[in-house]
């Protein structure tokens, strides 16, 4: 008997997770109301830009940018990977997953996808509503087309980073402290608090070349017309390089980390 292919595994896992998650769909959908940080930043930056554009970014672009940040951060599930994997290690449940014919992270990715499936439509409605009501400015259709592969590559790199941060639990008992810093860094370098072009010089350079930005800020900047299609293509090229590097790093970390794992419990 041969092992099932990855698409078949994913099909089954996502179906199962969708059914399980649908039991809490009301709570999940309503919970998006709690994710207000993009709106807070929108208010802050629009307030700052009321006397004119800041470094060329208009109030309309800030509106679109942070409305799209609401969407890109909702679609992100690196935190789900981090906080989903850590208890598996600390409570000893990882053992169950290690004997299955697929990587333990596939389960978590399927779970994250199921959550996103319920939350994303609500976030999209909020996003469109804010852009329409507050008069957001958008880039052209070319920007929108390029934003999609940028986001996909960003999601993959962000997923690897989440898996790496989650894997810390294989070595460290109190991994949450370090992991929360990864989440915080993701917010800052990803562009959650400000478009990275407005960060101080060196921080902008660092942020522009990190995978955090590829998933959160880069697609939003493209859609809002703050960067052009050419910049988007450069992000795609860099993202592919990061993807390869992170894949190799994760394989190494996982191989070593899983040997550290000691079953906890009975």
Partner 1 sequence: MLTLRALLAGWRAELAAAAEYRGDLVVGTLVSAVWLALAVIPAVIVFTHVNIASGWTLERLLLVQAVWYLMDGVLWIVMQPNLWALGEQVRSGDLDFYLLQPGSALARTTLTRIRPGDLPKAAFAVALAVFAIVRGVDVDAAGIAFGLVAVGCAVVLMWAIAVLSHLPAITAVQFEASFAMHAAHNLARIPVSFYGRLVSTILTFVVPVAFLSTIPAEIFFGASGVRELAGAVGVAAGAIAVTAAVWKRQVSRYTGATA
Q: Contact positions toward partner 1, by CB under 8 A?
A: 24, 27, 30-37, 39-41, 43-48, 50-51, 54-55, 174, 177, 180-181, 184, 187-188, 193-194, 198-200
Give the Å distances, CA to CA, from 62 to 54, 84, 126, 203: 10, 33, 15, 20
Give the Å distances, CA to CA, from 116 to 21, 153, 258: 10, 17, 28
Task: Tell me how many helices (H) and strands (E) the chain has.
Answer: 13, 0
DSSP for 60-97?
HHHHHHHHHHHHHHHH--HHHHHHHHHHHHHTTTHHHH
Nearest CB to partner 1, comparing residues 55 and 262:
55
Output the smallest distance, CB 195 to partner 1, in A: 10
Contact yes or no for 66/45 (Cβ under 8 A): yes
Output the smallest distance, CB 98 to partner 1, in A: 27
Nearest CB to partner 1, comparing residues 180 and 234:
180
Nearest CB to partner 1, comparing residues 31 and 234:
31
Nearest CB to partner 1, comparing residues 12 and 43:
43
Nearest CB to partner 1, comparing residues 197 and 236:
197
Output the smallest distance, CB 34 to partner 1, in A: 3
Nearest CB to partner 1, comparing residues 71 and 153:
71
Rounded Cα gap, residues 234 and 241, in angstroms: 11
Output the smallest distance, CB 81 to partner 1, in A: 20
Q: Please state whether 265 falls in left (phi above 0), alpha (psi between -120 and 50) or beta.
A: left
Cα-based angle 154, 183, 25 (whole degrees, multiple of 5)? 80
Output the smallest distance, CB 188 to partner 1, in A: 6
Output the smallest distance, CB 173 to partner 1, in A: 11
Output the smallest distance, CB 252 to partner 1, in A: 26
Nearest CB to partner 1, comparing residues 48 and 120:
48
Nearest to 119 by CA among 35, 201, 185: 35
Nearest to 216 by CA among 94, 76, 121: 76
């Amino acid at each position: 008997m041969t092992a099932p292919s990855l698409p078949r595994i994913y099909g089954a896992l996502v179906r199962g997770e969708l059914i399980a998650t649908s039991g809490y769909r009301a709570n999940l959908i309503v919970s998006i109301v709690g994710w207000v940080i993009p709106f807070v930043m929108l208010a802050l930056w629009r307030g700052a830009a009321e006397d004119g554009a800041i470094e060329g970014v208009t109030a309309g672009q800030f509106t679109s940018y942070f409305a799209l940040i609401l969407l890109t951060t909702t679609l992100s599930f690196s935190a789900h990977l981090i906080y989903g994997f850590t208890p598996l290690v600390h409570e000893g449940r990882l053992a169950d997953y290690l004997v299955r014919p697929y990587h333990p992270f596939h389960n978590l990715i399927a779970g994250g996808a199921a959550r996103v499936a319920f939350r994303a439509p609500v976030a999209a409605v909020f996003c469109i509503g804010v852009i329409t009501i507050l008069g957001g400015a958008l880039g052209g259709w070319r920007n929108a087309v390029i934003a999609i592969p940028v986001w996909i590559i960003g999601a993959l790199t962000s997923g690897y980073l989440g898996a790496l941060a989650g894997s810390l639990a294989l070595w460290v008992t109190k991994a949450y402290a370090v992991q929360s810093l990864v989440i915080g860094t993701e917010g800052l370098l990803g562009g959650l608090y400000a478009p990275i072009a407005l960060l101080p010089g060196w921080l902008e350079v660092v942020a522009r070349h990190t995978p955090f930005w590829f998933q959160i800020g880069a697609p939003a900047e493209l859609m809002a017309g703050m960067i052009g299609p050419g910049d988007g293509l450069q992000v795609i090229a860099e993202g592919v390089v990061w993807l390869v590097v992170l894949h190799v790093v994760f394989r190494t970390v996982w191989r070593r980390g899983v040997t550290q794992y000691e079953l906890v419990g009975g």
